[in-house]
Amino acid sequence: MKAGTVAASLLVLAATVVPASAETLAWGGRAGMESTVVSKSGIDTSNAIIKTRLTEESAEAYCNYRNLETCVDQVMRERGEDVLTADCVSGKFVSFYGRRQFLGKNPEYKTGRQPGEPLPFLIRGDDGIMEHGYLNRDFDIDFWLFVALCPLRVPDFGPLK
């Protein structure tokens, strides 16, 4: 095999392998519930876009205790590729699970909060209900997706405890 052909083959292989340090975004709280970021554009604008792709490795980790082949096929179909978008001006964004709106600081938040008390920020679900004012699965996922799309909209808040 000629050196040029080998180099071209290695270049194609390198372009298809996701590096170990690739950025990921969670779509759930269990092992493997994360997708790799494949592109970003317009971050912090009215047209912020992040495209993600589920890797087979993540799907296998998610499917660890199930019928592996059937589960991997299903999760790859359902979560294979996602497009997350935001209008960072209005706070409206599309998460892995639907339309949301980041509403900013929560006036009921108290420093040194106890479990079950309001978090520092509010996110309204697409049904209009303030379902994300407390630490739960949806808030934890949606909040960090909004931070990835619109980091300048989220003031310095310290750790969410």
Instruction: State the average pLDDT over residues 6-28.
Output: 51
The answer to whether residue 77 sits within a structural domain is yes
Among 29, 78, 35, CA closest to 58: 35
Q: In a 3-state reduction of DSSP, which class is residue 98?
A: strand
Residues 13 and 25 sit within 8 Å (Cβ to Cβ):
no
The answer to whether residue 100 sits within a structural domain is yes
* pLDDT above 90 (res 3): no
The answer to whether residue 155 sits within a structural domain is no
pLDDT at 125: 83
Q: In a 3-state reduction of DSSP, which class is residue 97?
A: coil
Higher pLDDT, 95 or 134: 95
Q: In a 3-state reduction of DSSP, which class is residue 58?
A: helix
Tell me the C-alpha distance between 2 and 36, whole Å: 34
Higher pLDDT, 3 or 90: 90
Which tens digit of pLDDT belongs to each residue from 21-71?
Answer: 579 998 887 888 899 999 999 999 999 999 999 999 999 998 987 887 789
The answer to whether residue 6 sits within a structural domain is no
The answer to whether residue 78 sits within a structural domain is yes
Which residue segment(s) compose the domain that 31 sits in? 21-150
The answer to whether residue 41 sits within a structural domain is yes
Please provide residue 155's backbone torsions phi and psi, each rounded to the nearest 5 degrees: -65, 165
Distant-in-sequence, close-in-space partners of 21: CB < 8 Å, separation ≥ 6: none
Number of domains in the chain: 1
The answer to whether residue 124 sits within a structural domain is yes
Choice among 10-14, 18-22, 83-87 with the minimum mean pLDDT: 10-14
Mean per-residue pLDDT of the chain: 77
